[in-house]
Amino acid sequence: MAPFSIDTYLPGFPSIAETFGISVSKVTLSLSSFFVGIALGQVIYGPLLDRFGRKRPLYLGLILYLVATVGCYLSQSIETLVFFRFIQAIGSCSAGVVSMVMVRDLFPLGENAKIYSILTLVMGTSPMVAPTIGGVISAVFGWRMIFLVLFALAISLLIAVFVILPESKAPDKSHSLKLGEILRGYWAVLGVPQFLVYAIGGGFALSGLFAYISSSPAIFMKGYRVSNYKYGWIFAVVTVGFVGLGQLSRILSRFFKAEKIVFGAVVFMILLSLILLLGLILGWFGLFATAGMIFLILGCIGVLNPNAAALSMAPFDHNAGSAASLYGLFQWGIAGVISSVVSLLDSTSAVSLSLIIIGTGTISIMILFFGKAAFNKNNI
């Protein structure tokens, strides 16, 4: 739900800007509000998943999504669109949290990284097809029609959840919904150093993906002056790096521990971003070279993401819902901040994108290195 809700309407940014008489960078605020909504919405579903099982909270989220999508379709100002995108995000994030928790429910701990990698592959169909679909819809029918398509998708998923998806964990009344108990549950998760290191460190690394998503309309459609239709194809091909190269994680896991895969992927991400920055400054890279370098950078993020998720969730069983919620909070919260920075920069060059990825990658490396050293020392 979340990836498709993001990627489908990206090609419509210029049309939305024209409709409301604003710049494309201001339209990006509707993307930032979506990231913030997903981040805050995570904490709602964790306790509900632990108390009521996995499916009932998912129904709640999908219904909320449907209502908000109608609001997006009817929006008459950017402020209204930003608000309903925020509500839409709160609804959509239920699917992401449930996915994380159900992997932890249904598969052996040692296989979690592999399953998260496969899950990324399935989710990756969104960035491969959604921008192209969105570009065609926006060009032929206008940007509002995109939200009708999202509405139809959510209806289909709601039916599929009801008919096909099995319940992976029975309701557990021992999980209290009193605020004090919920906060103590979250505090217990935050007290696990391994979770903090890989959720926050992985979150900063993953934010490079969302920096690209936020800045790509301006970079390609304004900077390189490609049409919204061509942008959809470029976005799809580039994002294959995140999905396709990310599947290398399953091969690498045969030879390396997950901790080393995460660290190595971040190092390569930073090095490739430095090459991209140098190439852009010296005028070596045009449209295709820039897209190719971003392809490789996103591939590094695709390799580290499932391993960081598996390492974050590994210590939890009884309160897996709360852990998945906090993991999502860190991931999407950091993404929301980074995407807001992108909108403020209002840049049509990939130079800003490379600088942001270098910065977030460096923060990630520091957290992974010093954080892991600290909790290993405590374990000794």
Tens-digit pLDDT profile for residues 15-71: 888 888 887 778 878 887 887 888 788 788 877 877 778 888 889 899 999 999 999
Read off the pLDDT of residues 258-300 as tens digits, 9 standing for 90 and up. Answer: 788 888 888 999 999 999 899 888 888 888 888 888 888 888 8
Share of the chain above pLDDT 70, in %: 87
Look at the block and give the residue holding tokens 């060059």.
Answer: 349
Percentage of the chain lying above the pLDDT 90 cut: 12
- Supply the pLDDT for residue 270: 92
Q: What is the pLDDT of residue 272?
A: 92
Q: Which fold has domain 2-165+181-379?
A: Growth Hormone; Chain: A; (1.20.1250)
Tokens of 39: 């981040």
* CA-based nearest residue to 269, from 342, 182, 345, 359: 359
Distance CA 232, CA 130 (A): 8
What is the residue extent of each domain of the chain? 2-165+181-379
Per-residue pLDDT at 251 exceeds 80: no
The chain-wide mean pLDDT, for the chain, equals 81
Residue 331 has pLDDT above 90, yes or no: no
Looking at residue 64, its pLDDT comes to 94
pLDDT value of residue 380 = 41
| pLDDT tier, 121 (very low <50, low <70, confident <90, very high otherwise) | low
CA–CA gap between residue 219 and residue 233 (Å, rounded)? 14
Q: What is the pLDDT of residue 17?
A: 87
How far, in Å, CA of 219 to CA of 228, rounded? 12
For the stretch 164-189, pLDDT in tens is: 888 877 777 766 667 787 788 788 88
Name the DSSP letter for residue 171. -
Helix (H) or strand (E) holding 56: helix 55-74
Distance CA 134, CA 272 (A): 30
Instruction: Describe the crossing of helices 55-74 and 24-52 by its angle, rounded to 10 degrees.
Output: 160
Q: Is 142 left (phi over 0), alpha (psi -120 to 50) or beta?
A: left
What 3-state class would DSSP assign to 314?
Answer: coil
Q: Which helix (H) or strand (E) holds 177?
A: none
